[in-house]
Amino acid sequence: MFSIEAVNDPERRDVVLARLQSANDERSPALRALRGTPAMEAQPLETYAVGGGGELVGGLVGRVQWQWLHVELLWVDAVHRGAGVGSRLVGRAERVAREEYGCIGSQVETWDFQAPEFYRRVGYRLLSSLADYPPGLTNHVLVKAF
């Protein structure tokens, strides 16, 4: 007999994570080969656009993990949108990901009102869309192979 509990428990979370990683390693030679290497651990990767007076005009915040760049945040000041700042931020992050971390691709999630068309213009392809995530919005996942 067992019970189902809905609680946040860091100790149990760690046990579940360790057991899942062990099971995954048993079934996946790729994960087994990456375990314990720098590619397995998430590394921050950030690029920023700074104006002549030192003001922040845009920024990309992401991470590198499993030989992929994960773009988490991208923002360009409204005054500078359409001037290539976003493309340059993404391009620089992709170069660093490829050249310094050996990444083979990049992925990003963006809502329909944000930047799916921008990412398509810089070479990403739509992988999936999820309507009503959150309700009233569509979340898009886009990827780019290097």
Do residues 73 and 140 both lie within one domain? yes
110 Cβ contact partners less than 8 Å away, ≥ 6 residues apart: 116, 119, 139, 140, 142
- 12/83 same-domain check: no
33: pLDDT strictly greater than 90? no
The residues with which 95 forms a beta bridge, in sequence order, are: none
> pLDDT per residue over 62-73, tens digit each?
999 999 999 999
Q: Which residues contact 14 (CB under 8 A, 6 or more apart)?
A: none
CA triple 122-43-39, angle to 5 deg: 90
Write the CATH number for 126. 3.40.630.30
Q: Are residues 57 and 82 in the same domain?
A: yes
Q: Hey, CA dihedral for 95, 96, 102, 105, is it positive or negative?
A: negative
Q: Is the peptide bond before 134 cis (omega within 30 degrees of 0)?
A: yes
104 within 8 A of 80, measured Cβ to Cβ: no
Domain coverage including residue 31? 7-36
Do 31 and 52 reside in the same domain of the chain? no
- Give domain status of residue 2, yes or no: no
Residues 27-36 have a mean pLDDT of 86
User: In a 10 Å sphere around its CB, with 0-12 CB exposed, 13-18 middle and 19+ buried, how is residue 52 labelled?
Assistant: exposed
Higher per-residue confidence, 37 vs 15? 15
Q: For residues 51 and 118, state if they share a domain.
A: yes
Q: How many domains does the chain have?
A: 2
- Clarify whether residues 116 and 83 are in a common domain: yes
pLDDT tens digits, 50-99: 999 999 999 999 999 999 999 999 999 999 999 999 999 999 999 999 99
User: What confidence category does residue 31 fall into, taking pLDDT thresholds of 50, 70 and 90?
Assistant: confident
pLDDT for residue 43:
96
Q: Flag whether pLDDT at 134 surpasses 90.
A: yes
Give the pLDDT score at 12: 96
Q: What mean pLDDT is predicted for residues 1-18?
A: 95
| Pair 141, 73 in one domain | yes
